[in-house]
A and B are shown apart, each in its own frame.
Chain A
Amino acid sequence: MIIKILGPGCTNCHTLERLTRDALAELNLTAEVTSVTDYPTIVGYGVMSTPALVVNDHVVLAGHIPTAAQLRDLLTNATV
């Protein structure tokens, strides 16, 4: 699984990255997590509100920080 966190590097993006790593650990999933900070690439995903979460090149969330439970759901759904 390849996960990208889109966002210029503000607090919200860092929070999303931390929550994502926590959720992955809890679900015992391995994934390559990278953050994408350059604007053309971010907008290239059709995302205008950050932070955004991209799983296997699909945007699954944009514009806010999810709760831990929602994040677990998103990641579980993405694996099946």
Chain B
Amino acid sequence: MTSRSQPAPAVGGWRRPAARGVTLVAVACSWLIAYQLNRPWWDLVVYEWIGLNAGSRLGSGVHFFLYDSVKILLLLTGIIFMITIARSYLSLERTRALLGGRREGVANLAAAGLGVATPFCSCSAVPAFIGFVAAGVPLGVTLSFLIASPLINEVAVVLLYGMFGARIAALYVISGLLIATIAGYVLGRISPARWVEDFVYHTTLRGTPVVPGQQLTWPDRIAMGREEVATILRKVWPYLLAGIGLGAVIHGWAPADLFTRVAGPDNPFGPLVAVAIGVPLYSNAAGILPLVEVLYAKGMAIGTVLAFMMSVVALSLPELILLRRVLKPPLLAAFVGVVATAIVATGYLFNAIL
């Protein structure tokens, strides 16, 4: 965050650790109170003050929109802040050092886990790929890392937890880790080196790598957390409101049996159809989730819902265009094929066991 030679300039009251601690605790308490009061507050406003009927479509739709918007904003703010601070301790450079020289197998699982935790923007996918390969990380392990990172989106985990509860959030994380681990392992078995662009192997690492995160102070990390919250909220709020709005409409008006018929537990092609629709769609996980919540509430099977969401966030055209710079078409096609197959399989598995 700052130069390595100079400590970060402290800002105002943040200079004193005690004041900082008190402020953080106060903010955390207000967050908890706001989260607890969200539902009773909107019950009061929508049903008592405005006087809408809780049983009516309009009443429940308006209530859903207001309650859900506030809930999701609170969840996003609180958890992104904490995740960013936790993540500031990890970097691509550190991840590479952890994975370098490991054999395939367990390393695929480790890579998938680190892929979730390590922060990097999708533009860094290619430098990371080259850096990993140059450091002796096996291709399959590198691919596990690159698959897990977009597949298991931390914002999506948080929202899933808030909307569906811990069990479904855990299912999403576990199946994502399994997909990344297995897909990387399978791709590693087909001797993928011949399908990697030559320049990757001819690039040598020179210079002194910067280790971002090494010299960060607490005020730095808190500032990073605040900035990340602002950046993500600025990016996703229109999608969120549109999604929640659409959700509110479907919530109040759409016929429930339409969704159960098209993608309910009884439709054997549900997950297949969901992935076929999801892959060309590109959205932020946070943007698609409010819609997913309503589809599920209206009777879409949970495996189908998860498969749809994963395919939307994991296989995106921009990411594939970036990866094309380092992967030749056959490996890129295998990459898409293996990941899509694994997502469809997850959909069927969850539909079968739940």
Q: Which residues of A contact B (CB under 8 A)?
A: 7-10, 12-13, 39-40, 42-52, 59-64, 66-67, 69-70, 73-74, 77
Contact = CB atoms under 8 A, between A and B. Distances in A.
Given A43-B134, A44-B205, A49 B1 contact: no
Interface in B176-235: 199, 202-210, 212, 223-224, 227
B56 interface: no
Contact of A12 (B2, B123, B326): B123
A42 B207 CA distance: 10
B210 A47 contact: yes
Contacts of A62: 210, 212
A54 to B, nearest CB: 9
Interface residues of B, number: 40
B205 A43 contact: yes
Given A8-B322, A43-B205, A67-B223, A48 B2 contact: no
User: Interface centre among A43, A62, A69, by most B CB within 10 Å?
Assistant: A43
Contacts of A47: 127, 207, 209-210
B205 A46 contact: yes
Contacts of B5: 77
B123 A10 contact: yes
Nearest to A12: B121
A43 B127 contact: yes
Contacts of A39: 126-127, 130, 199, 203, 325-326
B6 A77 contact: yes
Contact of A43 (B3, B9, B131): B131
B3 A48 contact: no
A51 B325 CA distance: 18
B41 interface: no
Given A49-B91, A74-B2, A7 B123 contact: yes
B3 A60 contact: yes
A59 B126 CA distance: 19
Contacts of B227: 67
A80 B262 CA distance: 67
Contacts of A73: 2-3, 6, 9
B336 interface: no
B351 to A, nearest CB: 37
B163 interface: no
A66 to B, nearest CB: 7
A40 B119 CA distance: 22
Contacts of A52: 210
Contacts of B3: 60-61, 73-74, 77
A32 to B, nearest CB: 19
A45 B325 contact: no
B124 A49 contact: yes
Closest 10 CB pairs of A and B: A46-B209, A10-B123, A46-B207, A48-B131, A63-B212, A48-B92, A62-B210, A45-B207, A40-B203, A49-B124
Contacts of A48: 92-93, 96, 120, 124, 127-128, 130-131, 209
A51 to B, nearest CB: 8
User: Interface centre among B126, B127, B208, by most A CB within 10 Å?
Assistant: B127
B199 to A, nearest CB: 6
